[in-house]
Structure 1
Amino acid sequence: MTEPTFDSPTFDSRDDGEALDPASGVIRPRHAATLIVVRDDGPAPRVLMGRRNRGHAFMASKWVFPGGRVDRGDYGAPSATELDPEVATRLTAEPRHPSPTRLARALALAAVRETFEETGLLLARPAPARPGAGAWRPFLAQGALPDLSPLAFVARAITPPYRPRRFDARFFMAPASALLSLDPQPDCGELDEIAWVTFDETRDLDLPSITRMVLRETALRLKDPGRPAPFMRFLRGNAVMTEL
């Protein structure tokens, strides 16, 4: 996920297939969400990152934050808490979506679910195990419900229109203290390797350009939580950054 575009319509991720905008002929971006978990129990803050499998068609072998596209089930999944209202409002400041509040919640739930799927870690509160359908079945079977209240909104970026896969990604941040445990759940983890790394250590990792930008923003936000969130996109072929 790199520089974005604004003049193509926002993609509704409840659809499964890639879709072309008939007016422009470019692929419409899918809604996606990423979670930056920050650990502060050492001499320097550390963030949770993972290395993608070399066989992936998208960002193979790159170090990234856990995340992925919004699933249909994210629109109706239960949670123990809700998003801070200000975070929810800023998340959907511009998307042309019939239900922006519902979309904001789905983005947050996608970030929590994908973090569990890729690392086995639960941003959640204890709850009785309950049956679930689709992508949420493994999470709900852990005896936990997603905790959305710690989530802060860090950045937004849309993949450029010339890319074969496009995402309208929101980057969230949460403290590691909000995890149920620092120990991954068994039989979970889709990344080749996961690690807690300091901001200095990330300089030596193979990172996508958008990840480097978001790392810089995260470091600044730890010092100034009230910072506006940058929004990276393309407008008429030119890279544009605004604030949300």
Structure 2
Amino acid sequence: MAKRSFLSDPASDGVTVNGGSNGNVSGSRTLIERAYAQLRDDIVEGRLTPGDKLRVEHLKDRYAVSAGTLREAITRLVSDALVLAEGQRGFRVAPITIEDLEDLTRLRVHIEIDALRLSIRHGDAAWRARLQAVFDELSAVEQPIEPAHRRHWESLNNRFHETLVSGCNSAWTNKVLRQLAQHGERYRRYAISLPDTGRDVHAEHRQIFELAMSGQEARAALALEAHIRATPDLLRRRHREGLVTGF
């Protein structure tokens, strides 16, 4: 069986900024936001591979921005822990490792399960309606999950998990989980491409959904933990077998 590896794929697009001092400030922010979003996307998707050196003078043309704008975007990614600053040596894409995956999984389990329990206790009819709506959308694209549609599935998957815990009304919980989900996506990209995993992700989501909707807090928490741990468990096994590479 062939091993998986990262691919390189340059991407860029242009932005026109109107003149004027306020327009320049707003335009600069827009350019930084765009470069940040494109860089983050390229890192998550593996077009910029773990350990790659981010050479500003080379990448500024790829993203069609100035060197200063690109450095601002890269600095934001350092704050997100997707990029590492190397002192005077510049920047590199953060590595991905089994140890890192297990670490972020432990933290996600701890935070998300507690948030789910609180959501089930305090979630009202509006919360259940939102959860039903996003589950219906998710169900339409994950039976099964097609690699070609993974980006759309990721968006709906993130919305489903965010809605699950939204009843706990904690802005900080949502912010931390969003960052963990972004890092987790770097690993899920591998897992989804693996054949014959034996997983039925839709069945996992359905079980969590039904238990949450029926108020079965303890069972929903156990189902969510098993679901979160399934991806690292799978990748750990396949990594030992030499079927995935890159971390």
Provide TM-score, normalisation by structure 1: 0.24
Q: Which of structures 1 and 2 has the bigger CA Rg? A: 2
Q: Which has the higher contact order (CA 8 A, sep 6+)?
A: 1
Judging by fraction of residues, say which structure has more helix: 2
Judging by fraction of residues, say which structure has more strand: 1
Provide TM-score, normalisation by structure 2: 0.24
